[in-house]
Every structure is written in C-alpha cells, then in structure tokens.
Structure 1
Amino acid sequence: MKFCSDCGTPVDLRIPAGDSLPRHVCPACGSIHYQNPKLVVGALAEWEGRVLLCRRAIEPRHGYWTLPAGFMENQESTADAAARETLEEACARIEVGEMFTLYDIPHISQVHIVYRARLLDLDFRPGEESLEVGLFDEADIPWEQLAFRSIEFTLRRYYEDRRQGSYRFHTGRISPPLGL
C-alpha cells in the first residue's frame, strides 16, 4: 500500500501505538490500514456419488481443475459465498450442507473453507471463469491436474470419510511448497 485510501497521502509502514505489528499508517489523517487474510469459500457439490469440478479459465492455475470456489464478498455468509461461487463458475444451483474443510494458508494470507453441498439438478455449464465443468467419480478425478493443494486435501478427506461411512469436519494448515 502506498497511499491512504481515506485522504490520498503517502502512508508510512510502522507499528502504531498499542499494536504489535507493522501497519500502513497515514501521517496526515492518522488512519491505520489493516490488511487481513482473505476468505476463499467453495462447495463440494455431489450428485449420485460424483462431485462437480471446474477447469479454470483464469489465473492462477489456468487449465487446472478445482471445486467451484472463490473470494468471499462483503455482506455475505460463507454458505452464501459457496452457493454464489458455484453458480458463477458452474452455473449450478446447490443446496449448501455442512462445512467440511477449513484450511489455514498463512504464507498467502488466506483461509479456505469448503462446504459439502447437493446439486439440485443437472443443469450446469461453464461460467465465465471455467473452461469446462463435469461430474467425476473418485477414479476419474484428475489428481495430477488439481489447481490447489486445499482442493486435493478436501477431496481426499471426502473419499476417506465416504469409505468409512460418515463425514466429519476437517481442519489443517497448508505450508508453502519447497522453494518458496
């Protein structure tokens, strides 16, 4: 951040009084500009034992497969974000179920949340951010072409839980790949 979003003055990076971390502070108006992690929310939408995947038409990871997911908007719940992202990326309507995974990804300042969901019908198609969409059985998941580790972890937990006959809530932390 270079300029104050309140008054336009160049900001300083310093630790404000009563704080413990460096923040962008405006020397003119005193505004403290906090930068907080982003929430990425999505859905693991099911239909007769298969899951809905989208092949990305955007960066990062253009051409790779993912669950429909994206950044949460202001003034929406996480469940609403999962339904909206599924509609935007796969033009699919879902009934959002329980929260299934929550992964902290501190090295990119993100938290990824995925809900289990039920497709309401088979009327889906690629949205503007997807090249193609489809329903996949476990054997057909393009494991080597998944866009994000949080999606791979979510799918692996889903199939493990399904084999055990019950689903539980999973949490974890994803560390940076080697070399970052």
Structure 2
Amino acid sequence: MTDRPSPPDDSLDPAFRRRVPHGDSLERDVCERCGFVAYDNPKIVVGSVVRSPGGVMMCRRAIAPRIGFWTLPAGYLEHGETPEEGARREAFEEAGADIELTSLLAVYTVRRLSQVQLIYRAELRGGYEAGPESLEVREFGWNELPWDALAFPSVAWALEHERAVAGGALAPFTNPVPDDAA
C-alpha cells in the first residue's frame, strides 16, 4: 500500500502537463482533467557490508546491469518496508543469508540515477548460497577483494568505509567524491 493518492479510475489515460501545482515550488506532471499530481521521487536503495570470520560476503551479479561483476547484497526498498527490513531481505534474496545489522555505515547519493543508498554494517548468521539474482556468493578477505571487478562505485566506497570503521573511524559516511561522479 502506498501513501500516494491514485488517479480516479476514469483518468486511466490522463492528459499530463508539466507545471507547478498549487502549494508546490517544483514543476510536476499534473493531470489537466482531474488535478492528480504524479510525483517522481528518488529511489531508495538498501544494502549491507556483511562481515564474517572469512571476510566480507559479496555476490556476483546474475542480472543487468553489470552481470558478472561483484557487489554487496543490496536493492530497492519496497513499499511498507523499513530500510533495515529491506537490507535484511536483500541479503536473503541475493545470498540466502541471514544477517544481523549492527549500524548504519553510509548514506550515498547518486544524483544521475535519482538514488539515495543506505548501506549498513552487518554480521553473517549462518551460511549463504546464490539466489536467483546472483551467479555466485563468496567471502573475500581484505587482501583479496575484487577491486577491478566491482559492479558500482558505491560498492568500492562502502568497502573502503567499512575498512575505515574497522580502523576506528566513525560512521555514517557520505559520498567520498561529488555525487555526480558516482
């Protein structure tokens, strides 16, 4: 269920125009017949750096974009889900992993994709196996991380920030570079 109002049934093919709705300050798509405002807001991505005695758990992507590249278990937050629930769900979907979140590691902004990414620190509780979105799941020690085969810049940021926290730095972190370079 969403908090957004739905357009009336008789407006399934509404005539939308870009304009500033009454009481707003930004241009939006507004139905000229019924006044419905179609808000297009950033997407929330949730994920985690999952630690275990064997290192950091990572997933090799089986889906686009970046098939075959390594990533952290992460994905879009679903309606009605807390960020923490979403991060745990993503770890289970992608790696069959039960995780315990320990703290918020970082909040990244990827402006060109209209994403806000919430990345948590987590501990692995048990085993793991590749889910339908992963070709492979494995643990990497710090000295064997696949830096040249990471799927996204924010994966490298999160790994670097996790290492910084392990060395005593305080989290949460933000983008280490301008957000339009992500």
Alignment partner of 1:66 is 2:110:
no
Q: Which residue, 155, 167, 171 being the options, matches 1:168?
A: 171
Structure-1 residue corresponding to 2:162:
158
SS state at 2:34 partner: coil
Question: 2 CA distance for matches of 1:39 and 1:68?
Answer: 14
Give 5+ residue unaligned stretches, structure 2. Answer: 1-5
Structure-1 residue corresponding to 2:3:
none
Q: Which residue, 83, 86, 92 being the options, matches 1:81?
A: 86
**C-alpha RMSD of matched pairs (Å):** 1.6
CA contact (8 A) 1:150 1:174 kept: no
Question: 2 CA distance for matches of 1:13 and 1:115?
Answer: 37
Normalising by structure 1, we get a TM-score of: 0.89
Structure-1 residue corresponding to 2:52:
47
Alignment partner of 1:148 is 2:152:
yes
Alignment partner of 1:96 is 2:98:
no
Change (3 A) 1:165 1:48: farther
Q: Per-residue CA shift, 1:140-176, capped at 9, x if unaligned?
A: 11101111111100101111232x2455221225223
Number of aligned positions between the proteins = 172
Change (3 A) 1:86 1:135: same
Structure-1 residue corresponding to 2:15:
10
Q: Per-residue CA shift, 1:87-120, capped at 9, x if unaligned?
A: 0000010111111111011121000111111100
